[in-house]
Structure 1
Amino acid sequence: MSTRILVIDASHTIQDILSQHFRPTNVIAAYVSDRERAFEVLEAERYDYIICDSETSGLKALDLIGVVAMLPYDPGVILIGSALEEDFPQVQSLALAHSINLLAVLERPIDTQAFLGAFHDVASVRSNRVVGSETVLSEAEFMRGLMTDGLAAVFQPKKDIKTGKIVGGECFARWQAPGGGLLGAGAIIKLAREQGHMDLLAYRMIELAFKLKGNWEGALKGAQIWVNVSSENLRNMDFADVVSGLADQYQINAGEVTLEVTESDLDIDRHEPLETLKLLKDRGFKLALDDFGAGYATLLEMDTIPFDEVVIDRKFLSRALKDKSARLILESAIELTHKLDMVCSLEGVETAEHLQLVQDLKADYAQGFLIGKPMPEDKFLKTL
């Protein structure tokens, strides 16, 4: 299978490097020269890698990261440009928050070896090496890290619109890099799924979240946490027992835990996920349908699933600011959610305009960079 690469570059520098070092039979590359054409192509096609020279294309690195965050797939990203260095901390932080595979940030003139080293090999064979800011682990290292201290947790604050207070946060997986620092979970989740270890990853992540929450004291003890689970987890009929057992072990009130499953990850025609969700609900846990609008479920179909919360996909918020029809659709979704006795959350709240719209449309919770980025536990607790 060929590797698909999108190059956003008005010069021929990157095209020349690719043609010299990759065989045409292994690589299918598309070339666009400006930001408008890049957005059109990204909406229409899927790519394994996206390479962007911000200096020549006029597409800012931060804007590209924002677009990649909304794609329904997980490409590797390589950024190039002489002015990138001063923006790099912000670019890296945004990429990390969305678990984007930011493989490298390079300056002009392009160092060919550094550029080529940022790729996984073109056959997409994973090996044990560091590529840019993402680490690709062997299965043995992954398992060893799960059993020791490889997994880490960060929390992104969630704001109650009515009270204006932070009521808790969503817990995200991070990986302790061998050289220090935290890496996004994109490659780790992909490895777990490929190797059939999604249950183990979920159990360890839930255990870590419960262990941390169990140590919170005073007013912090009642803070809500949101934890992601996958369709693979829900198809395991023992999953509800394991989650309940961990809550008992760390003395966690199940009513303070919301388990999130993404809409695109939920097969409403399968019996096992529905039964597992009902068991979790019966045992006091709250349930949220995440990224609503990105998949195929409808609110009307959800009468058989005991959700407490709907998290509307971030793309609706951005579009609603610019398009009247999109705003009406978003407003209708929020109203219908409330009529079905569920609370409504909006992600991607990154500007004062976003927050004002969330308030105007009477959503219940807001989450995004304006409220707070995913952060270590000690910083998160200070927001409560």
Structure 2
Amino acid sequence: MTVAVAVSGGRDSLMALALLRRPERDLVAVHAQLADATPPEVLDGLRENCRVLDVPFQVLDLRSRFEELVIAPYVQSYLEGRTPNPCVWCNARIKFGLLLDAVREQGARTLATGHYARLIHTGHGPALWRGADPAKDQSYFLALLTPAQLARAVFPLADRRKQDVLPELERLGLAPPLPGESQEVCFIPDDYRDFLARRLTDRLLADFAPPGSIVLEDERTVGEHKGLWRYTIGQRKGLDVAWSEPLYVLRKDVTANRLVVGERTRLLSNACRLKSINFLVPPTAWPQDLRLQTRYRQRPESARLASPQETHSSPSETLTLTYPKTCEPTAPGQIGVIYSDEGQVLAGGVISS
């Protein structure tokens, strides 16, 4: 059985490759070029590490499809007033989409990555769980993978801790060509607003992202925004509005091109609505008490299904979860992941409100 290992040039994917190397196992290391052409020195470093491990190495150019399936939708989401999470879609559409398809066509049965997450294969299919390192767990970014995709996935770093990876690589004589930490969004080297400004033409800015009014909930105008795409829900800094109390972005009225702001108490919510649900566990098997995580660097909140009877009888494309106490909301377009108390991923979906 051949296992393909996606290697980016960083320490985690290189550690995954080293952990899987066994005399009885056929491995192939695959590097996907995504946003830009990979620098020659990074490719040379990957080839050298694969030579040390005696593993074949190949490069796949997925730049045009990455633009089509990740970058373009990312830009469009901002123009439509949402705040997307491109890393989640990259995993679902590129790594365990196009890349998995490509290596399977070449004879590989599974694709391994350097994600810190755990898979347990059961008689009911693969179960996705949090990884052992609570500071690095990446199950959140994998929550939109389908059961069919997870059945072909391998996560060798499930039981590893991030702090131990580099010393272990040094012991093995391996040097990652990208030794630093990867940036959160691989195709944005700076602030996302600067990236969007470079991508948007003058015509797009005029037609879809013009300046407009900043208003209170009672419709009083208190300032002018520079384009709704420059703001996100909960933002306080950068509004340039003088007011007696700090003001926060409450919502974006795309139809009227207005940014609605208010005091922090108006920002809090006791519910979250998800759409486009990817169920990894049937809702009929869910516990009553759930954990909902709506940001990667967020402690999950206690939550319950708003209508458990209806949902359990017929899983739908939308779910509403309620919190026992009010919480700061996450912007529409972000990802909400539902966990059990023990850390199993039950479902993931796109936050709609």
- More strand as a share of residues: 2
Q: Which has the higher contact order (CA 8 A, sep 6+)?
A: 2
> Which structure has the highest helix share of the two?
1
Asked whether the two chains share a fold, i.e. TM above 0.5, the reply is: no
Which TM-score bucket, shorter chain as reference?
under 0.3
TM-score (norm 1): 0.26
Q: TM-score, normalised by structure 2?
A: 0.28
